[in-house]
Amino acid sequence: MITIEIRKELKSGVIELAILALLVRREMYGYELSQKILDLSSGQIEVKEGTLYPILYRLEERGIITSRWQAPLGRGKPRKYYYVTGKGRQYFAGYRKEWNVVVEFMCKILE
Amino acid sequence: MITIEIRKELKSGVIELAILALLVRREMYGYELSQKILDLSSGQIEVKEGTLYPILYRLEERGIITSRWQAPLGRGKPRKYYYVTGKGRQYFAGYRKEWNVVVEFMCKILE
DNA sequence: AATAATACCTAGTAGCACAAAGTATATAGA
DNA sequence: TCTATATACTTTGTGCTACTAGGTATTATT
């Protein structure tokens, strides 16, 4: 498996959609999200901290997700768990449709 | 066919890739590119002038495409035709691979 | 004792799509 | 004739995005 660096222009928008796709299924905390995305992409899509947290804050500010602090069962730093609101689920559905339009278009243009 | 507005974050990077995909096949001029993209996307992906021309200029500056002015056969304003250089074809191939990684990842994360 | 991994925060930066203005030619409709 | 529209290219400024690079703090490993 050869890992190539994905240019940030291609990540634009996609990372937010990916985060929402994960949070729609179950609540997760920031660090967990970044690791999950790295895993699911076989190490090819890395979400930097300076990207991840600002995305979570703006989504929360817009009422798309909410959060709660939770101390881990064992020891360690407290974690901030995020989950998608009702409004957020609608937002996600629309976002997903736009993504599908883009993908269909690109499939056509790339043969 | 319901036309939805695609948020610009999702267009980021994608428009450049689409332009290159068209120019790899044959030389085209700016306005023609914007119309072709609108056509191929069934009117769903609109590339504004303030987006299109700056992309073409920076691609030319980087040696990825080159251009030549050509007066139309009939009457009208002269057109600037662009085509992809050898270096540009390599650039396009790499860009395309990155896009495929992103699409595969998103397919997985969106089920 | 030192390093890495976990877990979160944030000020500043470069690059992107876009709005909105401009120049200029040709055509169609009122 | 006047006006609007389509064609065709240019450019300045703006908001948003991912990222850089720093920070705090805890726990496990070496």
Q: Tell me what pLDDT residue B74 has.
A: 79
Give the up-direction half-sphere exposure of residue A59: CA atoms within 13 A in the CB hemisphere. Answer: 29
What pLDDT is stored for residue A72 in this prediction? 82
Which pLDDT band, with edges at 50, 70 and 90, does B73 fall under? confident
What distance in Å separates the CA atoms of residue A67 and residue A34, rounded to the nearest whole number?
16
- Please state the domain count of chain A: 1
In the predicted model, what is the mean pLDDT of residues A81-97?
98
What's the average model confidence in pLDDT over B2-15? 94
Reported as a pLDDT band with limits 50, 70 and 90, residue A61 is very high
Q: Does the CA dihedral B19-B24-A4-B101 come out positive or negative?
A: positive
CA B107 to CA A45: how far, in whole Å?
Answer: 14
Q: Which of B11, B97, B110 sits opposite A96 (nearest CB)?
A: B110
Backbone angles phi, psi at B65, to 5 degrees: -130, 160
Nearest nt to the A74 alpha carbon by C1':
D27
- Distance from C-alpha of A100 to C-alpha of A41, rounded to nearest angstrom: 19
Q: Is the pLDDT of residue B83 over 90?
A: yes
**Chain D positions with any atom < 7 A from a protein CB:** 7-13, 15-23, 25-28
State the residue for tokens 């306005």.
B31
Asked, for residue A98, whether it belongs to a domain, the answer is yes
Residue B3 lies in a domain: no
Q: Which two tokens stand for residue B88?
A: 């540009």
Q: Other CB atoms closer than 10 Å to residue A41's CB: what's the count?
A: 21
The encoded tokens of residue A41 equal: 């992409």
Please give the angle made by the CA atoms of B17, B22 and B28, to the nearest 5 degrees: 125
- Residue B94 within a domain: yes
Q: Is residue A105 part of a domain?
A: yes
Average pLDDT along chain A? 96
Predicted confidence (pLDDT) per residue in B20-38, tens digit:
999 999 999 999 999 999 9
Q: Is 90 exceeded by the pLDDT of residue B79?
A: yes
The CATH code of the domain that includes B44 is: 1.10.10.10
**A3 assigned to some structural domain:** no
Does A2 fall in a domain?
no
In a domain, A15, yes or no: yes
Domain that holds residue A17: 8-109
Q: Which contiguous run of DSSP H or E holds residue A90?
A: helix A86-109
Q: Where does the pLDDT of residue A1 fall: very low under 50, low under 70, confident under 90, or very high at 90 and above?
A: confident
Nucleotides of C under 7 A from a protein CB: 6-12, 15-22, 24-27
User: Which single residue is written with the structure tokens 């278009």?
Assistant: A105
Q: Which residue has the tokens 């974690």?
A: A79
Q: Stated in angstroms, how far is A40 CA from D9 C1'?
A: 44
Per-residue pLDDT at B2 exceeds 90: no
A13 and B7 Cβ atoms separated by less than 8 Å? yes
Q: Is B103 on the interface with A (CB under 8 A)?
A: yes
